[in-house]
Structures are given as C-alpha cells and as structure tokens.
Amino acid sequence: MLSEKEKKFVDLANKVEQIKLYLKETSEEMESLGEEIGVGHMFQDPETMVVFQVVRPKGTFVTFPHVGYKRTSLPGEKGGSNVLAKKEAKENGFMVY
C-alpha cells in the first residue's frame, strides 16, 4: 500500500511522462513545419503581435533537477538514463513483469 506522499509522487511522475510524450510529439511536428516554412522566414501572430522567425538553434537549454526519479520501463519502451533496471527492482522485493 502506498503512502499519500508515494501516491502523489507516482501521480506526478505519470503526468511528467505524459507531458514528455506530448512535448516530443509537438516538437517533432513544429520542426517539420519549420522545415516546410523555411529557415529564416518570419511571421507574426495577429492576436498577440508576437513575431516568430524559423531558426536552427545553436544549442538547447538544459535543466537538471535536484531530485528526480528512475523507473522500470513499460513494455515496448527502450532503455535510457532514467530507467531503473528490473533486476534491481526485483532485488529490492518488487514484483516486475
């Protein structure tokens, strides 16, 4: 049985996974549209008056949280830096499929 804090942590971790997937899909679509529109092209949002220019970024902003999490992979997922080995989970008394 999970404590309230553990349940909240699991809920938040699941939300983060959903947001990551949404961000990945959205970023891929924006990149494709940017290629179609053309690097260097500028346009303006008529509602906010914000001007956009399609560019090739020179780098990516990276943040490192002070506390994060690793988790076992779901069926079909590939490993990565935030994956908790199923072997380690089993060794710590968890039932893993």
Q: Are residues 80 and 40 in the same domain?
A: no
Whether 4 and 25 map to the same domain: the answer is yes
Query: Which is more confidently placed, 2 or 49?
Result: 2
| Domain containing residue 11 | 1-55
Residue 16 C-alpha from the chain's centroid: 7
The secondary structure of 61-75, three-state, reads CCCCCCCCCCECCCC
Count of the separate structural domains present in the chain: 2
Q: 75 with 41, same domain?
A: no
pLDDT for 18 equals 96
Question: pLDDT tens across 25-77, in order?
Answer: 998 998 899 999 998 888 898 888 888 889 887 777 777 766 666 788 877 87
Joined together, the tokens standing for residue 38 give 């053309």
Same domain, yes or no: 75 and 36: no
Contact between residue 52 and residue 44 where contact means Cβ atoms under 8 Å apart: yes
What are the distances in angstroms from CA 16 to CA 21, 69, 75? Answer: 9, 11, 18
On whether both 32 and 75 belong to a single domain, the answer is no
